[in-house]
Amino acid sequence: MLGAVSRSTNQPPATIAWLALCAALVFGACGGAGQAATPAGPTAPAVGPPAPAVDSLAAQVSVSQASALRDAGAFVLDVREPHEWAAGHIPDATLIPLGQLAGRLADVPHDRTIVVVCRSGNRSAEGRDILRRAGLAAVTSMSGGMNDWAAAGLPVTIGP
Protein backbone atom coordinates (compact mmCIF):
# COMPACT_ATOMS: atom_id res chain seq x y z
CA MET A 1 0.00 0.00 0.00
CA LEU A 2 1.51 3.36 -1.03
CA GLY A 3 0.30 5.48 1.88
CA ALA A 4 1.47 3.13 4.64
CA VAL A 5 4.51 3.98 6.74
CA SER A 6 6.45 1.07 8.09
CA ARG A 7 7.32 1.26 11.80
CA SER A 8 10.05 -1.37 11.44
CA THR A 9 12.62 1.15 10.18
CA ASN A 10 13.14 2.70 13.63
CA GLN A 11 12.67 6.09 11.97
CA PRO A 12 10.06 8.49 13.31
CA PRO A 13 7.20 9.09 10.83
CA ALA A 14 8.26 12.77 10.47
CA THR A 15 11.75 11.74 9.27
CA ILE A 16 10.31 9.35 6.72
CA ALA A 17 7.87 12.00 5.52
CA TRP A 18 10.74 14.50 5.21
CA LEU A 19 12.83 12.05 3.18
CA ALA A 20 9.85 11.27 0.92
CA LEU A 21 9.26 14.99 0.35
CA CYS A 22 12.94 15.56 -0.52
CA ALA A 23 12.92 12.60 -2.92
CA ALA A 24 9.77 13.92 -4.61
CA LEU A 25 11.34 17.35 -5.05
CA VAL A 26 14.56 15.92 -6.48
CA PHE A 27 12.82 13.58 -8.92
CA GLY A 28 10.28 16.23 -9.87
CA ALA A 29 13.04 18.73 -10.66
CA CYS A 30 14.74 16.23 -12.95
CA GLY A 31 11.82 16.22 -15.38
CA GLY A 32 9.89 13.22 -16.51
CA ALA A 33 6.55 12.45 -18.05
CA GLY A 34 5.11 15.88 -17.21
CA GLN A 35 7.99 17.78 -18.82
CA ALA A 36 7.16 19.80 -21.92
CA ALA A 37 8.72 18.65 -25.15
CA THR A 38 11.23 20.87 -26.89
CA PRO A 39 9.81 22.14 -30.16
CA ALA A 40 11.39 20.66 -33.25
CA GLY A 41 12.85 22.77 -35.98
CA PRO A 42 15.88 24.92 -36.68
CA THR A 43 17.38 27.00 -33.93
CA ALA A 44 19.65 30.02 -34.07
CA PRO A 45 23.34 29.13 -34.18
CA ALA A 46 25.22 29.63 -30.93
CA VAL A 47 27.55 32.62 -30.95
CA GLY A 48 29.50 31.48 -27.91
CA PRO A 49 28.96 29.69 -24.67
CA PRO A 50 25.76 30.74 -22.96
CA ALA A 51 26.21 33.04 -20.01
CA PRO A 52 26.59 30.86 -16.91
CA ALA A 53 24.81 31.52 -13.63
CA VAL A 54 26.45 34.15 -11.44
CA ASP A 55 27.76 31.66 -8.89
CA SER A 56 29.15 29.28 -11.51
CA LEU A 57 31.76 31.72 -12.87
CA ALA A 58 34.62 32.72 -10.60
CA ALA A 59 35.47 36.39 -10.27
CA GLN A 60 38.99 35.58 -11.46
CA VAL A 61 40.35 32.74 -13.58
CA SER A 62 43.83 31.49 -14.39
CA VAL A 63 45.45 31.87 -17.79
CA SER A 64 44.71 28.22 -18.63
CA GLN A 65 41.06 28.62 -17.60
CA ALA A 66 40.79 31.83 -19.64
CA SER A 67 42.28 30.02 -22.63
CA ALA A 68 39.69 27.24 -22.28
CA LEU A 69 36.86 29.78 -22.02
CA ARG A 70 38.19 31.56 -25.14
CA ASP A 71 38.41 28.27 -27.03
CA ALA A 72 34.78 27.59 -26.04
CA GLY A 73 33.70 30.91 -27.57
CA ALA A 74 33.92 33.39 -24.72
CA PHE A 75 34.27 37.09 -25.60
CA VAL A 76 37.77 38.25 -24.64
CA LEU A 77 37.83 41.92 -23.69
CA ASP A 78 41.23 43.64 -23.45
CA VAL A 79 41.06 46.82 -21.35
CA ARG A 80 44.63 48.04 -21.96
CA GLU A 81 45.68 51.09 -23.94
CA PRO A 82 46.13 50.92 -27.74
CA HIS A 83 49.96 50.95 -27.58
CA GLU A 84 49.90 47.97 -25.17
CA TRP A 85 47.44 46.18 -27.45
CA ALA A 86 49.69 46.72 -30.49
CA ALA A 87 52.63 45.21 -28.60
CA GLY A 88 50.72 41.92 -28.28
CA HIS A 89 47.18 40.74 -27.60
CA ILE A 90 45.11 37.58 -27.52
CA PRO A 91 43.92 36.63 -31.01
CA ASP A 92 40.28 37.59 -31.64
CA ALA A 93 40.13 39.73 -28.48
CA THR A 94 38.37 43.10 -28.54
CA LEU A 95 40.07 46.27 -27.31
CA ILE A 96 38.11 48.73 -25.18
CA PRO A 97 40.47 50.72 -22.94
CA LEU A 98 39.38 50.73 -19.30
CA GLY A 99 38.76 54.49 -19.31
CA GLN A 100 36.21 54.05 -22.14
CA LEU A 101 34.49 50.89 -20.90
CA ALA A 102 31.60 52.46 -18.96
CA GLY A 103 30.67 54.51 -22.02
CA ARG A 104 30.93 51.59 -24.45
CA LEU A 105 28.79 48.94 -22.75
CA ALA A 106 26.81 48.54 -25.98
CA ASP A 107 30.00 47.17 -27.60
CA VAL A 108 30.09 44.27 -25.14
CA PRO A 109 27.82 41.25 -25.70
CA HIS A 110 25.35 40.75 -22.88
CA ASP A 111 24.57 37.13 -23.78
CA ARG A 112 28.05 35.58 -23.71
CA THR A 113 30.70 34.73 -21.18
CA ILE A 114 33.24 37.56 -20.97
CA VAL A 115 36.90 37.26 -19.95
CA VAL A 116 38.48 40.64 -19.17
CA VAL A 117 42.24 40.93 -19.76
CA CYS A 118 44.93 43.54 -19.09
CA ARG A 119 48.72 43.53 -18.69
CA SER A 120 49.02 42.04 -15.19
CA GLY A 121 45.49 41.52 -13.85
CA ASN A 122 44.72 44.75 -11.95
CA ARG A 123 42.80 46.69 -14.61
CA SER A 124 40.95 43.58 -15.73
CA ALA A 125 39.50 43.15 -12.24
CA GLU A 126 38.31 46.76 -12.36
CA GLY A 127 36.84 46.20 -15.84
CA ARG A 128 35.08 43.06 -14.62
CA ASP A 129 33.56 45.04 -11.76
CA ILE A 130 32.35 47.79 -14.13
CA LEU A 131 30.60 45.17 -16.28
CA ARG A 132 29.08 43.39 -13.30
CA ARG A 133 27.75 46.67 -11.87
CA ALA A 134 26.19 47.30 -15.30
CA GLY A 135 24.23 44.05 -14.93
CA LEU A 136 26.40 41.55 -16.83
CA ALA A 137 26.68 38.43 -14.68
CA ALA A 138 28.90 36.12 -16.76
CA VAL A 139 32.08 38.16 -16.43
CA THR A 140 35.45 37.12 -15.07
CA SER A 141 38.96 38.57 -15.15
CA MET A 142 42.16 36.75 -16.03
CA SER A 143 44.79 36.73 -13.30
CA GLY A 144 48.32 37.50 -14.40
CA GLY A 145 47.16 39.28 -17.55
CA MET A 146 49.05 39.26 -20.83
CA ASN A 147 52.32 38.85 -18.93
CA ASP A 148 51.29 35.37 -17.77
CA TRP A 149 49.49 34.57 -21.05
CA ALA A 150 52.67 35.14 -23.08
CA ALA A 151 54.84 33.39 -20.47
CA ALA A 152 52.59 30.32 -20.80
CA GLY A 153 53.38 30.21 -24.54
CA LEU A 154 49.78 30.89 -25.57
CA PRO A 155 49.11 32.62 -28.92
CA VAL A 156 49.77 36.35 -29.16
CA THR A 157 48.96 38.65 -32.09
CA ILE A 158 51.32 41.60 -32.64
CA GLY A 159 50.04 44.80 -34.18
CA PRO A 160 46.73 46.57 -34.44
Nearest-angstrom CA–CA distance, 79 and 85? 9
Within a domain: 108: yes
Total number of domains in the chain: 1
Ramachandran region of residue 126, left (φ > 0), alpha (ψ -120 to 50) or beta? alpha
* Backbone angles phi and psi of 61, in degrees to 5: -125, 160
Residues labelled catalytic: 118
| 1 occurs within a structural domain | no
The answer to the question of residue 92 being in a domain is yes
On whether residue 24 sits in a domain, the answer given is no
Residue 157 has, within 13 A of its CA and on its CB side, a CA count of 11
Q: Residue 142 falls within a domain, yes or no? A: yes
pLDDT for the residue numbered 121:
84
**Cα 67 to the center of its chain, rounded Å:** 13
Q: What's the domain range around 82?
A: 54-151
pLDDT class of 117 with cuts at 50, 70, 90? very high
Which of 2-6, 121-125, 146-150 bottoms out in mean pLDDT, i.e. has the lowest?
2-6
Rg of the chain (C-alpha set) = 23
Note the pLDDT of residue 24: 39
Residue 39 belongs to some domain of the structure = no
pLDDT bucket at 160, cuts 50 / 70 / 90: confident
For residue range 73-88, what is the model confidence (pLDDT) as tens digits? 999 999 999 999 999 9
Residue range 24-74, pLDDT digits in tens: 333 333 333 333 333 343 433 444 444 444 446 899 999 999 999 999 999
Instruction: Indicate the helix (H) or strand (E) that contains 17.
Output: helix 13-29
Q: What DSSP state is assigned to residue 135?
A: T
Residue 106 lies in a domain: yes
User: Do the beta carbons of residue 96 and residue 56 sit within 8 Å?
Assistant: no
CATH number at residue 135: 3.40.250.10
* Residue 91 in domain: yes
- Rounded CA gap, 83 and 97, in Å? 11
Q: Return the number of other C-beta atoms located less than 10 Å from residue 50's C-beta.
A: 11
Question: What's the pTM value of the predicted model, to 2 decimals?
Answer: 0.66
The mean pLDDT value of the chain amounts to 77
